[in-house]
């Protein structure tokens, strides 16, 4: 299994076409991967080596392009990007593939979607890995309103907001539909209450880079969940933690531990 993009399929949910891949051992334990904002299944999971890592470990590896991203439909209506709706796409994909229960791993926005998936469709989720999002899932991750403006600016040179420049550059690099992303960023940041995060009872691993200034504390989020543990990803910021070898090793060990239970 290499780092080249696998073939993608499509299905329709909520009136939108959702792109996904289904790779690895068909008889292996399924793991569903949910990417972050302005990214895609390829950018988060194929190019950093996750598909290879998990496939080589014997898993059936499934990943979708979230609505507004990658090869999926890209509506410009902000009301379509609340996390429960995006989690509904993920649940519908598992149903489409005839999978009753899967491990679920999400990065950044994908971690938030994974949490809403566990709350709204608990029967679908065997375990959770949150990457790039800690207590910010509950308390918020700062002022992201300038991100929408940065995405809609005529060019990167017109953007002065530091985080806005980072995401605008990333969106340009991934050749994203910037209007769809601006709609997404305005409504996809719904918070989860302390009470609700405590209702997620499946085993969970929360990995955050030690230089990540967006995610918030992994330890603080883990403390609110009954069966969660935190992982520091040394020396990595929000953009680089996703493919880190320490993170990969910890995820494989976590999944193996869940399988033994």
- In the three-class reduction of DSSP (H, G, I as helix; E, B as strand; rest coil), residue 18 is classed as strand
Q: Which one, of 69, 65, 63, lies nearest residue 24 by Cα? A: 63
Q: Tokens 């883990």 correspond to what residue?
A: 222
DSSP state of 214: S
Instruction: Decide the pairing of beta strands 30-34 and 204-209.
Output: unpaired
Q: How confident is the model at residue 258 (pLDDT cuts 50, 70, 90)?
A: very high
Cα 230 to Cα 130: distance, rounded to the nearest angstrom:
9
Q: Are 104 and 117 in contact (CB under 8 A)?
A: yes
User: How is the chain split among helix, strand and coil, in percent rounded to 5?
Assistant: 45, 20, 40
Give me the half-sphere count of Cα atoms (radius 13 Å) on the Cβ side of residue 110.
Answer: 31
Q: Are 102 and 126 in contact (CB under 8 A)?
A: yes
Q: Which of 237, 220, 238 is nearest to 229 (CA)?
A: 220
Name the β-bridge partners of 228.
Answer: 204
> What pLDDT does residue 145 have?
81
Average the pLDDT over 8-28 and give the result: 97
Helices (H), 23-161: 41, 50-56, 83-96, 109-120, 136-139, 145-152
Q: What is the pLDDT of residues 40-67, one digit of tens each?
A: 999 999 999 999 999 999 999 999 999 9
- CA-nearest of 18, 38, 171 to 110 is 38
- Tens of pLDDT, residue by residue over 177-217, are 999 999 999 999 999 999 999 999 999 999 999 999 999 99
pLDDT digits (tens, 9 = 90+) for 77-106: 999 999 999 999 999 999 999 999 999 999
Q: Kindly state the helix (H) or strand (E) to which residue 172 belongs, with its residue range.
A: helix 162-173
Q: What's the angle, vertex CA 202, arms to CA 52 and CA 89, rounded to 5?
A: 65
Domain ranges of the chain: 9-140+191-260
Residue 1 has pLDDT above 70, yes or no: no
Cα separation, 259 vs 261, in Å, equals: 6
Q: Per-residue pLDDT for 107 more than 70?
A: yes
> What is the 8-class DSSP label of residue 156?
G
Between the alpha carbon of residue 223 and those of residues 84, 145, 210, the distances in Å are 23, 29, 18
* Averaged confidence pLDDT in the chain: 95
Q: Which CATH class is domain 9-140+191-260?
A: alpha beta
């Amino acid at each position: 299994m290499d780092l080249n993009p696998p073939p993608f399929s499509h299905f329709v949910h909520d009136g939108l076409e959702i792109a996904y891949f289904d790779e690895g051992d068909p008889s292996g334990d399924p793991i569903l991967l949910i990417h972050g904002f302005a990214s895609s299944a390829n950018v988060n999971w194929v190019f950093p080596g996750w598909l290879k890592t998990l496939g080589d470990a014997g898993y059936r590896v499934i990943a979708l392009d979230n609505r507004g991203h990658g090869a999926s439909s890209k509506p410009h209506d902000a009301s379509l990007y609340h996390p429960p709706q995006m989690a509904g796409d993920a649940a519908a994909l598992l149903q489409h593939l005839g999978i009753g229960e899967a491990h679920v791993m999400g990065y950044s926005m994908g971690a938030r979607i994974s949490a809403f998936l566990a709350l709204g469709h608990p029967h679908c989720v065997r375990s959770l890995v949150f990457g790039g999002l800690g207590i910010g899932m509950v308390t918020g991750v700062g002022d992201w309103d300038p991100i929408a403006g940065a995405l809609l600016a005529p060019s990167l040179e017109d953007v002065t907001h530091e985080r806005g420049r980072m995401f605008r550059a990333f969106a340009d690099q991934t050749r994203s539909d910037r209007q769809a992303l601006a709609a997404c960023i305005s409504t996809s940041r719904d918070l989860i209450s302390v009470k609700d995060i405590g209702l997620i009872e499946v085993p969970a691993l929360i990995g955050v880079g030690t230089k990540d200034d967006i995610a918030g504390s992994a330890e603080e989020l883990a403390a609110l969940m009954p069966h969660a543990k935190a992982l520091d990803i040394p020396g990595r910021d929000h953009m680089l933690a996703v493919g880190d070898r320490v993170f990969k090793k910890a995820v494989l060990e976590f999944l193996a531990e869940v399988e033994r239970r």
